[in-house]
Amino acid sequence: MNSCFNKIVLVIFVLFFLVGCKSKNIKNTKTSFFKDEVFACYYHDKFNGRNTASGEKFSNNKLTAAHKKLPFNTKVRVTNLENNKSVDVVINDRGPFSKGLEIDLSKKAFMSITDDTNKGKIKVSIQLLE
């Protein structure tokens, strides 16, 4: 009976130790990969002042973005794969709704990572920020 009890205590201790190690690794991670080699576009100025799906007023002068599935207030780092420039944005809207596009950036965010301001979309990677 005592041997069985000792084994149970040992198993519980090991489980708590493993859970503790796992949570420490997660806390130390600053970014985590989400999507690679997807396309980003930017909002037209006509959306300035309109409500986003989260209820905020949209502004092309803020560092925000729309995504179809990521929760509102999720912070993501979007990196242009051509020049390695990146920008951190907050998800506050839903979209884009055009086929082949993964994320819709505010104009300020998009222009901060592109070298060609005449482009309407760029290939990016997306990382989740903690």
Higher pLDDT, residue 81 or 12 = 81
As given in the structure block, the two tokens for residue 29 are: 């991670």
Which residues contact residue 19 at a Cβ distance below 8 angstroms, ignoring those fewer than 6 apart?
none
pLDDT for 32: 82
pLDDT for 3: 64
Name the β-bridge partners of 125: 79
- Over residues 34-56, the pLDDT tens digits come to 899 999 999 999 999 999 999 99
- Over residues 92-122, the pLDDT tens digits come to 999 999 999 999 999 999 999 999 999 999 9
Confidence of residue 16 (pLDDT cuts 50, 70, 90): very low
> Each residue of 84-100: b (16+ CB within 10 Å) or e?
eebbebbbbbbbbeeee
